[in-house]
Structures are given as C-alpha cells and as structure tokens.
DNA sequence: TACTATCGATAGTGTTACTCTCAATAAGGA
DNA sequence: TCCTTATTGAGAGTAACACTATCGATAGTA
C-alpha cells in the first residue's frame, strides 16, 4: 500500500508518518521507484504500537525509539531486555538532583522486606522510588512511606500476572511487543483502575446506605 | 521570608516562583510595601506540593491549578472531591476520538465482575480504560484484555490502602492534600514498584539457579 | 492529457514551562 | 550616607517537543 492508505487505515496523518520514518520509529517501506515506496501490514502494526506508546503511554518520541530499538536488537536475552525496557520507561524525566542517600536506603529496605534479592540495586527505578520517598517526607507524609510495603505487594502480584502473560508467547518479537505494550499500557490501565476503585470504595464508605450509586465526578 | 529564601529552601528558582504565583498555583505573599512581599511556611509547603505534582507526577500546570483549586473550595464533600481529583488526574490527555462502544461495553463488564456498582458509569476514567482495551485489540492482544480482571483486583487492594490512609487524617486540608499526593505520587510509586518486581520475577524465572542477583539494566 | 498522489528535505507552527530583562524601589553593611 | 545587592510585576524571549506545511520533481490513473 502507499502512504495514503497507511494513513487512512491507522488514522495517522501522512506527514506524521513521514516524520516517524525520519525519526526512526518506523522502518521505511520498500522502494519501488524514485518517488514511490510500498508499505505493508508490518507498518500498520508498528504504527499502531507507536501511537499506543505516544498517545496513551505519553512516551516522548526519543523514548519510543529507544524502546523499539530493542526489538531490532537480536542478541540480548529476554531477562536483559526486560531490564532495558523497564529502565527506558522509568526515567522519562531526569532527577534534578540525585535522591538523598537516606531515601535510597529506605527504598532498599523496602525491597529487602519484599524479598526482592535478585534485582540489581543500581537500576534507575530505585531512584524513582527514592525520589517519591523523599518528596513524601518533605511533605510530612512519613506515614505514607511506611505503607509502601502494601503497594509493593500489590505491585508484585501485578508483575506476576505480567510475566505469566509473557510466557504464553513463543515468538521472540511477540514477547518483546507484549513486554512493551504490557508495561506501558499496563501503567495507564492500572492508574485508571485505581481511580475507579478509589471512587467505588469511597462511595461505599461515605454513603454506606443502599440506594443509587454515587461518586459523581464533575456533575 | 522573602522570595530569595523561599527559593533557597525549596530549590525552585525565584523566577519560577513568580511564574507560579502568576499562574495561580501559589498564593501571593503578604504585601509589605511597594516592592516587598513576605512569604511563610505555607508557601514552602505549597511549593513542594506543586513541584511533586509537576516533576514526579508530570502534571501539566493547568491540571495542577485545577486540582489545587479543590483545596480552596470549601463546600464540597470528600466523596465528591475524590471524584473531581480523580477525574482531573485521569485525562491530561484528550481522547483523539471517543472510544468505540464495544470497548466501553467491555470496560463496563469488567466493573460489573468486580462488583463496582457504586461508580457512575460516565466518569472519564472509563474512557481511559476503553481506550486501552481498544488499542490492545488493535494490536491483537485480546488475551491481555481477558486478564484485566486480575489488574482490577490488584487496583482494588491498592485503593483500599489509599482510603485507609485517608481515614487517619482528620483535618480537611490534610485529607485533601493526602488525596492529591497519594493519587499522583502513588501512580509514580506503583509503576516504579511494578518495574522492579518485573525484573525480580523475571530474574527468578529465567535464571532459576542460585548465585548473584541478576536483572542488569544497561550495564 | 489532466489531475491527484507521492517523494524527501527543510522550514514553519503551536504549545508548554519556564527564564530573562526592565526600571523603580527597598534592605543591609561599611 | 553611600553602595551594593535584592526585590517587585509585567512583558518579552527561549528551548524543547511534536508535529505540519511547502516545495519542485516525478509517478499513477481517468
């Protein structure tokens, strides 16, 4: 198909498709002649993946490129790839200053209590964790810091589900795509579900009597 | 204190503080004379809150203003406020087109199976949920859609923890701040913890033998 | 032969979140 | 008192980002 059809099928403007090709998010099509290029189904699929990461996952273009590069990289094992993907996805913001040693220590203590002994204690996610801990403390919410273990347990059950899904795939590229999609769209999914569940539970608690549902948002 | 000290104590440049005041994220200080304004501890605290939302939560300035406006709004009950806060935080992204009816239906079915009967089925989070479902289907990952119930259960246990924390507060402003911080920083926390747990479990699974920990990210 | 579609490259646009500059004061030390 | 630094609000300027528009030269197609 030509660019017009690719655009029509994905809803992405042709100019944007050209931009993605230039930026290396989408492989160029097969060159037919001086000004003709042919695209295939794999371009449709890749384009949908890119749009999911950009629109729903809010990943900057540079991160998308970085993450997708892993798909083209054949000689890395899946465990290592998960590390790279997770790492790339953690820090779309650079910590202004590194977190305080005290907060990093708290983060390590949490991991210790969860029995998470296999992860390299230097991975960038630890800094995100320490950053959040530091900010909670600055805001005087030390009691929330004390409850992070509860969140960690929930995160572990989610991660187990993530990995189980991964094991249902056997093709390498499918595993990688599932990893990327599962991580990025999974975050969006979890935060939406958490907000809905908060409203539900809040409704149950504050309006404990029977009656029509509550939890009205914005009118 | 004057703006220089406020800047020094929070690490936020004075020009940025002025900008936040102009944008209504931070109340102006007490006017002392023509070109002197005095700030207090409440400004330090508010500034830290704003920075947590902007830097760690990646909220756009306009959303921060919207969410903070709820703190100044005295005549709304906590249940309603949670709805507003959750709603404001869901959609820092506008859906390009509305999600397909089929996907919204799937979202409702998930909520039905969770027993989430109290939430208004029209809240914006449903659209986020439906959007993710639609994209998963376009990517051929229907089996992931089938597993959303597992995520929903995890989200519910997290939301229960969120609400329990809220109940330890008695001052209204503290409750609201905890709600905002808990929701926004909680998202960052959960995604970091999920990534760490993924690496941990992946390490356990792929390198099942004993030895030094694995899950190296990027060297 | 018209007319539309396409090519890649480069320039331009709109948004966001700051950051700089200014002249008129005010504060604080020598 | 003098001198240096800090502060005020307002408006202009900036840097990054993600597109989007324009171009002349072709290619496909009624």
Residues 6+ apart with CB under 8 A from A119: A111, B196, B199, B200, B203, B213, B215
Same domain assignment for residues B11 and B118: no
Same domain assignment for residues B144 and B178: no
Same domain assignment for residues B97 and B112: yes
Total structural domains within chain A: 1
Residues 6+ apart with CB under 8 A from A175: A78, A166, A169
Residues 10-29 of B with CB under 7 A from strand D: 14-15, 18, 21-22, 28-29
Residue B93 is nearest to which of A55, A150, A157, comparing CB atoms? A55
Same domain assignment for residues B132 and B28: no
State yes or no: pLDDT of A75 exceeds 80. Answer: no
Instruction: Examine residue A5 and state whether it is found in any structural domain, yes or no.
Output: yes
Instruction: Examine residue B70 and state whether it is found in any structural domain, yes or no.
Output: no
C-alpha angle A18-B133-A132 in degrees, rounded to nearest 5: 85
Instruction: Examine residue B29 and state whether it is found in any structural domain, yes or no.
Output: yes
Distance from CA of B22 to the nearest CA of A (A): 23
Instruction: Examine residue A1 and state whether it is found in any structural domain, yes or no.
Output: yes
Same domain assignment for residues B104 and B157: yes
User: Model confidence over B175-193: pLDDT tens digits?
Assistant: 999 999 999 999 999 999 9
Same domain assignment for residues B129 and B179: no
User: Model confidence over A126-181: pLDDT tens digits?
Assistant: 999 999 999 999 999 999 999 999 999 999 999 999 999 999 999 888 999 999 99
Tokens 């000689």, residue located? A75
Instruction: Examine residue B187 and state whether it is found in any structural domain, yes or no.
Output: yes
Same domain assignment for residues B22 and B118: no
Same domain assignment for residues B99 and B143: yes
Instruction: Examine residue B196 and state whether it is found in any structural domain, yes or no.
Output: yes
Residue ranges making up the domain that contains B6: 1-56
Q: Which nucleotide is nearest to A16 (CA to C1')?
A: D19
Contacts of A193 in chain B (CB under 8 A): 129, 148, 151-152, 155-156
Distance from CA of A187 to the nearest CA of B (A): 6
Q: Which nucleotide is nearest to B33 (CA to C1')?
A: C26
Same domain assignment for residues B156 and B178: no
User: Model confidence over A24-37: pLDDT tens digits?
Assistant: 999 999 999 888 99
B16: CATH? 1.10.1660.10
State yes or no: pLDDT of A210 exceeds 70. Answer: no
């Amino acid at each position: 198909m030509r660019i017009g059809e690719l655009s029509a099928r994905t809803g992405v403007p042709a100019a944007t498709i050209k931009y993605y090709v230039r930026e290396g998010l989408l492989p160029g099509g097969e060159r037919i002649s001086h000004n003709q290029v042919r695209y295939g189904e794999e371009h449709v699929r890749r384009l949908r993946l890119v749009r999911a990461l950009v629109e729903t996952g809010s990943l900057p273009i540079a991160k998308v490129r970085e993450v997708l590069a892993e798909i083209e990289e054949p000689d890395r094992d899946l465990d290592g790839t998960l590390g790279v993907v997770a790492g790339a996805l953690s820090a779309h913001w650079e910590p202004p200053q590194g977190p305080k040693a005290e907060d990093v220590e708290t983060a390590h203590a949490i991991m210790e209590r969860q029995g998470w002994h296999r992860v390299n204690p230097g991975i960038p996610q630890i800094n995100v964790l320490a950053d959040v801990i530091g900010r909670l403390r600055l805001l005087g919410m030390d009691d929330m810091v004390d409850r992070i273990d509860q969140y960690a347990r929930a995160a572990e059950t989610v991660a187990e589900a993530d990995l189980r899904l991964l094991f249902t795939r056997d093709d390498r590229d499918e595993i990688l795509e599932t990893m990327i999609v599962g991580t990025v769209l999974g975050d969006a999914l979890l935060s939406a579900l958490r907000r809905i569940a908060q409203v539900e539970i809040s409704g149950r608690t504050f309006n404990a009597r029977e009656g029509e549902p509550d939890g009205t948002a914005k009118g």
